[in-house]
């Protein structure tokens, strides 16, 4: 392997084998790709593109907004092409797909071409995956990638604490559900009459009696039907 230090003092490591089986580390095309990839302006352009793309996605969809999708997809494709030429694709260490963050790039670009070239019909929900483009920022900024990686490792170490917390919250959630279920969610109704005016007490007659608003308790002062619950202190 070999390393390249950018003007921003960021260290980039590359495989010394031929990229795409034909581009050696001293190949002019690969050297240009490495220069572009490690240049701070390249990162700035990609980040600006991602932010602009996010702004376009939150705006109301119009033909002009949808037409920008081709431009953004073209820029992302150029970015991936530069990375593949500079690093290689997948076979060796430090190549394009050996970085898990580049999997996201590959998926986003693939879905972009799928949604552009095919009438999705019922699969139009695939367009929602465009929001994943915001995560591309992590792969562009080396410092941000380090922070996110540290957070993920911290979460892994806290898995026992997370499991205990979820279990405790589940117990209290079930307890609250059993205690307060139905409280202030129902109407108070009269007792079912015994004089036979509503017939025999069956599930159907009880349901009809409950749904009849004339049997609901009405507060004349408030001029509304107060909310009640099944528990004794609910109302």
| Percent helix / strand / coil, the chain, rounded to 5 | 60, 10, 30
pLDDT one-digit tens code per residue, 56-65: 888 887 888 8
pLDDT one-digit tens code per residue, 72-124: 989 999 999 999 999 988 888 889 988 888 888 888 888 888 877 666 555 55
pLDDT of residue 168: 95
- The fraction of the chain above a pLDDT of 70, given in percent, is 90
More confident residue, 182 or 211: 211
CB 136 within 8 A of CB 105: yes
Cα torsion 51, 55, 58, 62: sign? negative
SS3 (DSSP) at 106: helix
The predicted model scores a pTM of 0.63
pLDDT of residue 231: 54
For residue 108, give Cα distances in angstroms to 39, 44, 58, 139: 23, 20, 17, 13
What is d(CA 95, CA 104) in angstroms, rounded to the nearest whole number? 15
Q: Pairing relation of β-strands 186-187 and 227-228?
A: antiparallel
pLDDT one-digit tens code per residue, 3-33: 888 887 888 889 888 888 888 888 999 999 9
Q: How far apart are the first and last CA of the chain?
A: 75
Residue 126 has pLDDT above 70, yes or no: no
* Mean model confidence pLDDT for the chain: 83
Residue 198 has pLDDT above 80, yes or no: no
User: Comparing C-alpha atoms, which of 45, 49, 35 is closest to residue 5?
Assistant: 35
Cα torsion 81, 87, 92, 98: sign? negative
Superfamily of domain 2-153: Voltage-gated potassium channels. Chain C (1.20.120.350)
Residue 2 has pLDDT above 70, yes or no: yes
What is d(CA 108, CA 115) in angstroms, rounded to the nearest whole number? 11
User: Comparing C-alpha atoms, which of 86, 103, 3, 107 is closest to residue 42?
Assistant: 86
Domain extent listing, the chain:
2-153, 158-235
pLDDT of residue 118: 67
CB 65 within 8 A of CB 130: no
pLDDT of residue 138: 79
């Amino acid at each position: 392997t070999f390393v390249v230090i950018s003007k921003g003092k960021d260290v980039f490591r590359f495989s010394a084998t031929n990229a795409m089986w034909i581009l050696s580390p001293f190949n002019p095309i690969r050297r240009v790709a490495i220069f572009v990839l490690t240049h701070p302006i390249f990162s700035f352009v990609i980040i600006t593109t991602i932010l602009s793309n996010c702004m376009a996605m939150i705006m109301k969809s119009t033909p002009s907004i949808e037409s920008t999708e081709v431009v953004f997809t073209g820029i992302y494709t150029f970015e991936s092409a530069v990375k593949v030429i500079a690093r290689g694709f997948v076979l060796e260490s430090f190549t394009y797909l050996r970085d898990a963050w580049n999997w996201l790039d590959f998926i986003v670009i693939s879905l972009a071409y799928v949604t552009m070239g095919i009438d999705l019909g019922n699969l139009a929900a695939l367009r929602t995956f465009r929001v994943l483009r915001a995560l591309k920022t992590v792969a562009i900024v080396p410092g941000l990638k380090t922070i996110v990686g540290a957070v993920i490792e911290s979460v892994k170490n806290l898995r026992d604490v997370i499991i205990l917390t979820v279990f405790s919250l589940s117990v209290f959630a079930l307890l609250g559900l059993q205690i307060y279920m139905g409280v202030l969610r129902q109407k108070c109704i009269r007792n079912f009459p015994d004089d036979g005016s509503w017939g025999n007490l069956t599930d159907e007659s009880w349901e009809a009696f409950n749904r009849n608003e004339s049997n609901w308790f009405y507060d004349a002062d408030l001029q509304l039907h107060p909310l009640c619950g099944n528990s004794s202190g609910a109302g």
